[in-house]
Chains A and B, each alone.
Chain A
Amino acid sequence: DTEVTQTPKHLVMGMTNKKSLKCEQHMGHRAMYWYKQKAKKPPELMFVYSYEKLSINESVPSRFSPECPNSSLLNLHLHALQPEDSALYLCASSQVKAGVSYEQYFGPGTRLTVT
Chain B
Amino acid sequence: AQRVTQPEKLLSVFKGAPVELKCNYSYSGSPELFWYVQYSRQRLQLLLRHISRESIKGFTADLNKGETSFHLKKPFAQEEDSAMYYCALSGGSNYKLTFGKGTLLTVNP
Tell me, yes or no, whether A binds B.
Answer: yes
Which chain A residues have a beta carbon within 8 Å of chain B's beta carbons? 31, 33, 40-43, 45, 48, 50, 55-56, 90, 94, 96, 99-101, 103-109
Q: CB of B93 within 8 A of chain A?
A: yes
| Interchain CA distance A104-B90 in the complex, whole Å | 10
| Interchain CA distance A51-B101 in the complex, whole Å | 29
- The list of the 4 closest CB pairs from A to B, nearest first, reads A99-B93, A42-B99, A101-B90, A106-B44
Given A41-B102, A42-B86, A101-B43 contact (CB < 8 Å)? no
Select one of B92, B93, B97, B101 contacting A41, CB under 8 A.
Answer: B101
Given A40-B102, A42-B101, A108-B43, A103-B96 contact (CB < 8 Å)? no
| Interchain CA distance A50-B99 in the complex, whole Å | 20
Q: Is there contact, CB below 8 Å, between B46 and A50?
A: no
Q: Is there contact, CB below 8 Å, between A31 and B44?
A: no
| Interchain CA distance A106-B39 in the complex, whole Å | 13
Which chain B residues have a beta carbon within 8 Å of chain A's beta carbons? 32, 34, 36, 42-46, 49, 84, 86, 90-97, 99-102, 104
Q: Is there contact, CB below 8 Å, between A103 and B46?
A: yes
Q: Is there contact, CB below 8 Å, between A105 and B102?
A: no
Q: How far does the Cβ of A110 sit from chain B's closest Cβ, in whole Å?
A: 12
Name the residue of chain B whose CB is nearest to the CB of A58: B96
Q: How far does the Cβ of A106 sit from chain B's closest Cβ, in whole Å?
A: 4
Q: How far does the Cβ of A57 sit from chain B's closest Cβ, in whole Å?
A: 12
Q: How far does the Cβ of A45 sit from chain B's closest Cβ, in whole Å?
A: 6
Select one of B49, B95, B102 contacting A56, CB under 8 A.
Answer: B95
| Interchain CA distance A109-B38 in the complex, whole Å | 12
> Can you report 16 A-B residue pairs in the complex whose CB atoms are below 8 A from each other?
A40-B104, A41-B101, A42-B99, A42-B100, A43-B44, A48-B95, A55-B94, A94-B95, A100-B32, A101-B94, A101-B96, A101-B97, A103-B46, A106-B43, A106-B44, A109-B43
Q: Is there contact, CB below 8 Å, between B32 and A101?
A: yes
Q: Is there contact, CB below 8 Å, between B95 and A40?
A: no
